[in-house]
A and B are shown apart, each in its own frame.
Chain A
Amino acid sequence: MNPPPNALPALIPVLVLVVALDGYCLIDLARAQSVRYAPKIVWALVILLISAPFGALAYLLLGRDRTGRERPRPGRPAPQVHTPAAARQSPAAAVPPGPLVVTTTGLTRDYGGTGLLGVDLSVPRGSIYGLVGPNGAGKTTLLSLLAGTRHADRGTISLAIPRGRVAVCPDAPEFDGWLTAHEVVDLAVSLTAPAAGAADPQAAATALAAAGLADAADRRVAVFSRGMIQRLGLACALAGDPKLLILDEPAAALDPAGRADLLAMVAAMRGRRTVIFSSHILADVQRIADQVGILRDGRLLYQGATRDLLDTYLQPRWLLRLAGDTEPVAAALAAQPWATVNQAGPGMLRVDAATIEAGERGIPAVVAACGARQVSCEPAAADLESAFLALTAAGASPVTSTRE
């Protein structure tokens, strides 16, 4: 059978499609930072040699890295993160508790004995509320219920603000890698505050700047580090100017500098919006939270002012700094029935007394009796960790909220 006269016009589209597809795939392969299942050279051979264009289709569907990673553009500096000067300032002093913005009553989500069991949460407006507890205590469940992404078995949640003014940032935010950071935040604006987005075209840029990602706004999310993704999640949460911000382990993926920036940023929100955040890092909670809730086994063991909790669990402990030999003083203190002594460092003793009064009266007397030269004697500050450990120890019973 001879070829029909129309064979050439019929073949041209086939050839054009095959060449175009192979060309597209080869260019994409050359630009790709990584490919899947096989090295780039193997994929190049597959595209060129395996029954074109089926090799090209195989590359598109299987080999192409779906995160859409691209090489950093030459000549462009690596994304830098910046925190506004205002956010670097020390956290403001705790605001007096205002009217409640979140109240839960008997909130229960039972996962067969675990989960959340009868939690009565009270979050004052404008406060920074730190939620702490061991793994499995129910922190994420509580935050998910507040965010509306899970449903309670029993109990009520009362919000004093519209649901649309609540923003949430999970502990490990994820976004489509082929979007730029600006597009992600713009999407968040369009979903949460379309009117604000229409009124202020710079809303997304403002949120990115607040999260320290202004310089990375046009980069695709696929090339972001985990810390930058965390910041992007925060930018999305801030995008709609929420009145209640729910942050689940917001500093988990950040390096120390990033964590400090984030804490300063959150602390700077005090009074302007209410923030509920969970954290394993108790020092972070102590540093910025004026209200704290301690969860264990799904129950709220304590909630109230952070300062009140620290005062409750203030230990009768002092750090005694001496000039010269500490041995005689240590021996003399160890002989006292009310004191326990440990070497805390060169020239420094840590003295635990049975009571505050015993320490305040006894330590100066012993130092004087030994004829030692005292440099300083400071009460060891109570920290949230010791309060947390005391509260979450087996057998500890719930503490009534200081607001009740």
Chain B
Amino acid sequence: MALILPSALSSATSRGLWQLEWRRMTRTPRAVALIAVYVLFGLIEPLSTRYQNQLINHVSHGVHIQLPPPAPADALSAYTSQVATIGLIVVVAIAASSLTFDARHGLAVFLRSRATVTQLVWPRFAVSAAAAAVAYMLGTLAAWYETSLLIGSLPARPVLAGILCGIVYLAFAVALTALAASFVRSTVGATGITLAVLLLIPVAGTYHVISRWLPSALVSAPASLTGGAHQLRYYAPALIVTAVASRAILLGAVLRLRNREV
């Protein structure tokens, strides 16, 4: 990112583009939907984990099923598995709606005849990734709060380390969305491509030699860290690869978008 950051941040002309992205988040339901999804899962998943026995027996029609009492890490695991699907879809859709600035020809001419691609991409990436990070953090904090009240306390450092892993992964997903937007102009198309790639990466992770190095390893990191299965250093390779890949992907998106005509 350092390659594209200086020109994007040093230019005074970028002020309006940052303001534009802030307004896009706050004037439309994007921010509300994003935070609502994450916080909702953060509040509901510990609740459903705590009462999973009652919920299962309520729908099992006479068959008595007794699960072991949930551990605090189970609640966080349930939360991360939910946001890794529905939450990720919302993040990618919101990022795609911002990053596909060539989707509407008249708007593309307005923007591209006045700003460079770097000036356009960077605020869109940064604000989308920051919004996703805030939503993920709030959701995790909500899950932490609920878990502490209903099941038991969670250690602070693994939870915070898990938040770090989740945020880095979401930034990677947003960068991937930018690259998808350089292949297709439509928002739906960019969303679909990004989600397909994000679904395919864990398939590569079945090859155990590289599984620790893939961004998808970060998805389950919060549960593993709080459950004590791994330490943060276990995820260092994935964190480094994901950060470097995000930077490279974003640079690739800028280069591709520069060559696209409107």
Contacts of B51 in A (CB 8 A): 1
- CB contact list, B224-262 vs A, under 8 A: 261-262
Say whether A236 contacts B36, CB under 8 Å.
no
CA distance A166 to B114 in the complex (A): 9
Query: Is B32 on the interface with A (CB-CB < 8 A)?
Result: yes
- Given A149-B261, A174-B105, check contact A68 B27 (CB 8 Å): yes
Instruction: Indicate with 1 or 0, residue by residue over B19-40, a CB within 8 angstroms of chain A CB atoms.
Output: 1100110011100110011011
Stretch at the interface among A6-14, A92-100, A357-365, A380-388: A6-14
Say whether A1 contacts B107, CB under 8 Å.
no
Stretch at the interface among A41-49, A179-187, A282-290: A179-187
Query: Is B2 on the interface with A (CB-CB < 8 A)?
Result: no
Contacts of A191 in B (CB 8 A): 13, 16-17, 114-115
The closest CB in chain B to the CB of A236 belongs to B110
Chain A contact surface mostly: helix
Say whether B54 contacts A1, CB under 8 Å.
yes
Cβ-neighbour of A53 out of B40, B142, B261 (below 8 A) = B40
Cβ-neighbour of A172 out of B47, B93, B105 (below 8 A) = B105
Contacts of A186 in B (CB 8 A): 16
Say whether B33 contacts A173, CB under 8 Å.
no
Contacts of A18 in B (CB 8 A): 40
Say whether B90 contacts A149, CB under 8 Å.
no
Bin the interface of chain B by size. Answer: 35 or more
Query: Is B150 on the interface with A (CB-CB < 8 A)?
Result: yes
- Given A149-B112, A174-B110, check contact A60 B17 (CB 8 Å): no
Chain B contact surface mostly: helix
Instruction: Indicate with 1 or 0, residue by residue over B103-122, a CB within 8 angstroms of chain A CB atoms.
Output: 01111111011110000000
Say whether B27 contacts A194, CB under 8 Å.
no
Query: Is A320 on the interface with B (CB-CB < 8 A)?
Result: no
CA distance A6 to B46 in the complex (A): 13
Query: Is A154 on the interface with B (CB-CB < 8 A)?
Result: no
Contacts of A17 in B (CB 8 A): 36, 39-40, 43
CA distance A14 to B46 in the complex (A): 11
Say whether A176 contacts B109, CB under 8 Å.
no
Say whether A6 contacts B150, CB under 8 Å.
yes
CA distance A284 to B238 in the complex (A): 63
CA distance A186 to B13 in the complex (A): 11
CA distance A296 to B19 in the complex (A): 43
- CB contact list, A45-73 vs B, under 8 A: 53, 56-57, 60-61, 64, 66, 68
* Residue of B33, B44, B54 contacting most chain A CB atoms (<10 Å): B33
Contacts of B16 in A (CB 8 A): 186-187, 189-191
Contacts of A189 in B (CB 8 A): 16
- Given A170-B106, A178-B23, A178-B27, check contact A13 B145 (CB 8 Å): yes
Chain B residues within CB distance 8 Å of chain A: 12-13, 15-17, 19-20, 23-24, 27-29, 32-33, 36-37, 39-40, 43-44, 46-47, 50-51, 53-54, 90, 93, 104-110, 112-115, 142, 145-146, 149-150, 261-262
Given contacts A11-B47, A194-B13, 17 further A-B contacts (CB under 8 A): A1-B53, A6-B150, A21-B32, A53-B36, A57-B40, A68-B27, A144-B262, A148-B113, A150-B262, A176-B24, A187-B20, A190-B15, A190-B19, A191-B13, A191-B17, A192-B114, A194-B15
Chain A residues within CB distance 8 Å of chain B: 1, 4, 6-7, 9-11, 13-14, 17-18, 21, 24, 28, 53, 56-57, 60-61, 64, 66, 68, 144, 147-151, 166-168, 170, 172-176, 178-179, 183, 186-192, 194, 233, 236
List the 3 shortest-distance A-B pairs measured between CB atoms, nearest first: A174-B106, A190-B16, A6-B149
